[in-house]
Structure 1
């Protein structure tokens, strides 16, 4: 028995990485969002749910277990007040990834948390 929760970046179901373009290894490793549930089912997880990292966790009931000390080694994210920067990955550093410069990553990728039980 047990449970798992994994946060990961995925490629949206209606999107695919254009094979005519060069993609960074990190993006080639993103799983397609519409394939995650079947992968988890195949390896024995039940009650698999995918939660959008941008959405609240309301309605997702997680069974209570003994309190664990899982905050050890955790880091806090910090934000600078009033500043929202667009992170640029590879596009401005490497010619082969220039196509990423103007690409809307939110239209291509989604960060999710995958929850499942054994």
Structure 2
């Protein structure tokens, strides 16, 4: 897919970049990096990524299938309502934002590599 670079294109990405406190160039670079990460993961680590998605979904399902225990534990640690919203948003992002879940996977993988070395 080719992108025609013209004033309309610039005018479309400018508000997006501004809302993220970025320049249009930084915004395009960020989009490129996210797509590159996703392609790399899907092409070279498909099985590991699939397993991560299953484990992540299982974890979120467990949190929401037993909300009284989950939210009671959260309230014991942090009384803010924001914690509940964080878990709800993580559940929504799983199905909506591939770049988010890819980044989460990369952080998870990096953390596991660090844990193995230590």
* Fold-level similarity (TM above 0.5): no
- Report the TM-score when normalising by structure 2: 0.24
Determine which structure has the larger helix proportion and give its number: 2
- Report the TM-score when normalising by structure 1: 0.24
Quick one: higher RCO (CA 8 Å, sep 6+), 1 or 2?
1
Larger radius of gyration: 2
Determine which structure has the larger strand proportion and give its number: 1
